[in-house]
A and B are shown apart, each in its own frame.
Chain A
C-alpha cells in the first residue's frame, strides 16, 4: 500500500530536546519521507536554523528541501521581556515535510491547507 507516514509530535517530546537536537531530528525524519506536525512549532531562531541546515542537505535529484508552514508567531508582552528587552514569542502549530511530497495550498493567520503527494 502506498502511503505517507505522518507523525504528530507533542510539545512535551520537543521540549526535552536542545534546539540543535530538534533541528537534527526534524531534518532526519523529513529526509526519510515523513511529514511532521509539531504541536507547538519552533521558535523563530529554530526555524532559521532549520532553513540553514536544510540548505546544507540539498542534493540535486534526491532531496530538494522542505515545505514548512507555521502560523505567524504571537508575542507575549511579559514584564520579564520588557526588562530584558527581548520579546517572548509564543510558537504555534507547524507542519514540515519533504518539498516533493507536501505542498501548501493556502495559508492565513489561523489556517494551513496543504496537499500531500504519495509518490516522490
Chain B
C-alpha cells in the first residue's frame, strides 16, 4: 500500500476518534454451509483470540445472528476497527426432512427447521443495518444462487461496499474463477477460512473496502 493510502487511512482514523464515529458494521452473509462462521471464527481468532460460534457439516448450524464489536484488524501498517455480524445462512426453502436425512430425529429436525426459518428472517432484517457485507461463497458450488444474487442486488441498490470471499479453495474441485467471472464488478479474494489460505490478502482487502 502506498504512502498516500496509508496517510489517508490514518487521517480517517484520526477524525473517527475525534468525532467518536461508530465502527463500520459488517455482515457476513451467504448460503448455508458456505463457511460463514468458519470465517468469522478465523477473523476473531486472528485478532481477538476468541471464537464466534460452533460449525457443523449440517446446514443451518448458525440460527441466530451474532455480533462482535470492536475487532481491530491490522494490515500493511494500517488498522481498521469493525463490528462484525455473523448471520445465519440465507435460504428460500427449509425442509425438516433434509435434517432428518443428516441423521436428526424428527422432533429435533423440526425444531432446527423452525429455528432456521427465524434465523433467515433475522439475517434479512440485518441487511438494513449494515455498512457493508462480506459475502461468503462456496467456491465448489455454482455462484449464481438466488441468495448470492439477492444479497449482491441489495448492496448494489444501497451502494454499500461488498467483498466476496470465495471460500473452500483448499478443496480440489474449487473454482474461484467461476465466482470472479460471475460477479466481475465486485472485489473477490479466494480463501480457505478453514486453513487460513490467502487470509492476509483477505484482511488487506477488508481494510481497503471498509476502511
Give residues in A with beta carbon < 8 Å to B.
43-45, 47-49, 51-52, 54-56, 58, 60-61, 64-73, 75, 85-87, 89, 99, 106-109
State whether A72 and B144 are in contact (beta carbons under 8 Å apart), knowing that A64-B94, A66-B92 are contacts in the complex.
Answer: yes
- B93, B121, B149: the one contacting A52 at CB < 8 Å is B121
By a CB distance below 8 angstroms, the chain B residues around A109 are: 144, 182
The B149-175 residues at the A interface (CB cut-off 8 A) are: 149-150, 152-154, 156-159
B113 interface residue (CB < 8 Å to A)? yes
22 A/B residue pairs, CB under 8 Å, sorted by A: A43-B157, A48-B124, A49-B124, A51-B92, A51-B150, A55-B94, A55-B120, A58-B113, A60-B96, A65-B94, A68-B146, A72-B153, A73-B157, A86-B158, A87-B156, A87-B158, A99-B92, A99-B93, A99-B95, A106-B142, A107-B145, A108-B144
Q: Shortest Cβ distance from B111 into chain A, in angstroms?
A: 10
Contact A60 B113 (CB under 8 A): yes
Q: Given contact pairs A51-B91, A70-B149, A106-B142, enumerate 14 new A-B contacts (beta carbons under 8 Å).
A: A45-B154, A48-B124, A48-B150, A52-B124, A55-B118, A64-B95, A66-B92, A67-B92, A67-B93, A71-B149, A73-B149, A73-B152, A73-B157, A86-B157
Give residues in B with beta carbon < 8 Å to A.
90-96, 110, 113-114, 117-118, 120-121, 124-125, 127, 142, 144-146, 149-150, 152-154, 156-159, 182-183
Q: Shortest Cβ distance from A84 into chain B, in angstroms?
A: 10
By a CB distance below 8 angstroms, the chain A residues around B183 are: 72
By a CB distance below 8 angstroms, the chain A residues around B125 are: 52
Q: How far is the CA of A34 from the CA of B19 in the complex (A)?
A: 54
Q: Shortest Cβ distance from B109 into chain A, in angstroms?
A: 9
